[in-house]
Structure 1
Amino acid sequence: MKIVIFAVLLAVASAKKFSVEKSGNTCAMLVLSGKVDATASNGTQDLGSMSLPFDSATLIADSNCTLIKLNLTSSVEVWFQLDGATAGAQQIQPIAKFTPVDVFPKVNETADVVFTADAFGSFSTNQSFLCKASVDHAFTTQQVTPVNFTLQATTDQLQIQFGNIVNGSFSSDTSECDQDKTSTPQPTSTAAPTTVLPPQQDISLNVTNGNVTCILMKGFFTISVTFEDTVAGKKVNRTGDLNIPADAVASGNCTLNATVESMQILFGNGWELDFLFSKDVSSSDDTSVSISEISVTYNTAAFKAASPVTKNVTMEKKGGFLKTNLGGYYQCNANSTCIDESGVKLTTTDFKYQAFRTKSDGNFYGSIAECPADEETSSVVPIAVGAALAGLVLIVLIAYLIGRRRSRKSGYESV
């Protein structure tokens, strides 16, 4: 019997999100990138191979709160099933299935072949499992077949959670995979020069629902990406800055649910900046709005990388970023960093946003929540002016006293 060996290359597709809902609530969610590779052999000759990226997958309708099923093609499925659901010991069981005749034209078998791989992960019911590293999952068949099949999946940027998922966001309490804990960076030489494209532009964006403009955002946005590249045959760390242009296109959803809205900003060649806005209604007297998740998808082809890659970085925060009151808006005129995660930094200037709006115009309204940098500037100005005025009064008083003294002395000499 011929042993078929094949190599799996790291997928460069962007991470894709899949969500399973029950009764209007998200009960299972998966984000990942990577691909699935398979070969077929009859023992004397190769009968074909396939390679399918996860970014082409779609969620299968009969997925449930303990099983996320993905269709990579009409005939190839990969499942992520909750396994060993005991206290503190949940794992993920990968399962794959395909119909040979639909995948390999030289194979006449019409019966589905089912594969399983070793379970992975260790996390509790209140946690999400996160594995940013590239991990290979080798599958084995569950039945004897006339044709030898090999199947292997490569996943990276994987995050998964089962249970009650609040506001469609992963729990901030994550369990890391061993590969992330032990991975060490590749040795690199001095960073190459920064690339900046194009010049900064003030952009205005909005999301509408019928006649209501539910989200407004404006400002100058710069995304900085640090990535590994090859220059003159050597591995180097490069940093590229991309300013979001004025022709960026915004879309979104004002009705994800009563407390969540979203905005997606598309620009460049495959770049995307996503915001998830959350409304905290825990207190009826002081309802707040914040950005609960920021996601950046970038393509290093913009920086003329030798081997361009597309990746996604998502940052979420329990309690939210950049909080403001409902009916008001957030403002930060100073240059500030919104996220700095996994080599990706988003900075803004003259930034404003307002979500959960109820008006149709394009004007910001209501109370203003200022960032700390603006508040410090606002405090410094009156203090500086007051100190200057106090100094001026003191100088005038001293000059008056000196003049008065000289006047008296001159008067005595003239007598």
Structure 2
Amino acid sequence: MAFMRFAFVFVCGALAVSAEHWNVTNPDTNLTCLILDANLSFNLKFLNETSNQTQSYTADFNQTNNVYGECDTTHNNQPVNYLKVEFYVTSKDPASLLKVWTVKFWFGKPKDSAAFQLVDYNLVTAGTAEIPFSGTFARPTSAEAEIQAKDKNAFQCSDTTIGLDHESSIQLRNLRTIAFADLNSTNFPKEQQYELCLRDSKTSDVVPIVVGACLAGLVVIVLVAYLVGRARAKRQGYASV
């Protein structure tokens, strides 16, 4: 019973994963068109002009400073939902904790049947004690983001990476997002349906197999224990006679 209670707590804890939460609401209709939940981290490469060598750095999202967005705007001659997040990254230096970084996301409607798709994004960094460089990182023209969904579905992924130029990238963990929606709340509805990224789709296929194998193994163990116990009981019965 104690094991079952532990397993229940573990599963519930695993499902209650926290992430940064941002949304964009249309001021004319008071309906939410865009929601994005994620934990962000950054893998960046800067060219040190002094040594003429490329240096690699990592940074983690720390705290949101400001959020701005639009439900009805255009980008590259197409209608988009737009999200801009100004934030701070983690640092051991108090002064660096006040350096503002900016990440922007544009969600469009592709020509196929997808309801929304991440069509563009960029990152603007500020120098910190750990990263003594600043710069702007854009989406490469060859980058393909799988962040999209059809109909009224949202998109969900436990861990995905979107590429930036200069061989850099943004990692999004615990990602959930929806765009071009008309929601009465700034949170995802309880009945919201999600399309999974390729990584999670493979995992969801493996889980039933693993669970089935575990249950089959448990049945075998119980059966063996029963047969062993029955054999011992018979031997004890013969001994008493």
TM-score (norm 1): 0.43
SS at match of 1:357: coil
Question: CA contact under 8 A between 1:226 and 1:344: conserved in structure 2?
Answer: yes
User: Comparing both chains, which one has the higher relative contact order based on Cα–Cα distances under 8 Å and sequence gaps of 6 or more?
Assistant: 2
CA offset at residue 410 of structure 1? 5.4
More displaced stretch, 385-394 vs 214-223: 385-394
Match of 2:42 in 1: 223
Does the 8 Å contact 1:294/1:316 carry over to 2? no
1:206 aligns with 2:23: yes
Partner AA of 1:267 in structure 2: F
Deviation at 1:379, TM superposition (A): 4.1
Equivalent pairs counted in the alignment come to 208
TM-score, normalization by structure 2? 0.69
Do the aligned partners of 1:293 and 1:317 also contact (CA within 8 Å) in 2?
Answer: no
Match of 2:67 in 1: 249
Decide which of 96, 100, 120 is 1:293's aligned counterpart. 120
- Specify which of 296, 302, 315 is matched with residue 140 of structure 2: 315
Correspondence 1:263 to 2:83: yes
Tell me how far apart the structure 1 counterparts of residues 54 and 130 of structure 2 sit (CA, whole Å).
14
Shift of 1:309: 4.4
In the TM superposition, residue 305 of structure 1 has moved relative to its aligned partner by 5.8
Query: Matched residues in 2 for 1:267 and 1:412: separation?
Result: 78
Task: Name the structure with the higher helix share.
Answer: 2
Aligned to 1:399: 225
Aligned residue for 1:302, secondary structure, equals: coil
After TM superposition, list the pairs within 5 Å mapping 1:316-355 onto structure 2.
Answer: 316=141, 321-332=146-157, 334-355=158-179
- Call closer, same or farther: CA 1:228–1:400 in 2, change over 3 Å: same
Does the Cα contact within 8 Å between 1:292 and 1:321 map onto a contact in 2?
Answer: no
Provide closer, same or farther for how the CA distance between residues 379 and 392 of structure 1 changes in structure 2, counting only shifts above 3 A.
same
1:207: how far off? 2.0
Runs of 4+ in 1 over 4 A off after TM superposition: 233-236, 303-306, 316-320, 406-415
Looking at structure 1, the residues matched to 148 and 101 of structure 2 have their Cα atoms a distance apart, in angstroms, of 26
In structure 2, the residue corresponding to 1:361 is in which secondary structure?
Answer: coil
Alpha-carbon shift at residue 291 of structure 1 (Å) = 0.7
What are the ranges of 5 or more consecutive residues in structure 2 without an aligned counterpart?
1-17, 89-98
Query: How far is the alpha carbon of 1:323 from its aligned partner?
Result: 1.7
* Percent of aligned positions that are identical: 26
Structure 1 residues 405 and 248: CA distance shift in structure 2, 3 A: same
Q: After superposition, where does 1:36-115 map in structure 2 within 5 Å? A: none
Distance in 1 (CA, whole Å) between partners of 2:234 and 2:179 is 70
Residue deviations 1:225-248 (CA, integer Å, cap 9, x gap): 1113378x7856241414252224
2:139–2:164 Cα contact (<8 Å) kept: no
**Once the 2 structures are TM-superposed, how far is the Cα of residue 373 of structure 1 from its aligned partner?**
3.3
1:212–1:408: structure 2 CA closer, same or farther, 3 Å change rule? closer
RMSD of the TM alignment (CA)? 3.3
Specify which of 342, 364, 374 is matched with residue 188 of structure 2. 364
Q: Is the 8 A contact 2:82 2:105 kept in 1?
A: yes
Q: Could you say which structure has the larger radius of gyration?
A: 1
Gap regions ≥5 residues in structure 1: 1-200
Which structure has greater strand proportion?
A: 1
Shift, 1:282, TM fit: 3.7
> Does structure 2 retain, via aligned residues, the 8 Å contact 1:229–1:235?
yes
Following superposition, the deviation at residue 266 of structure 1 comes to 2.9
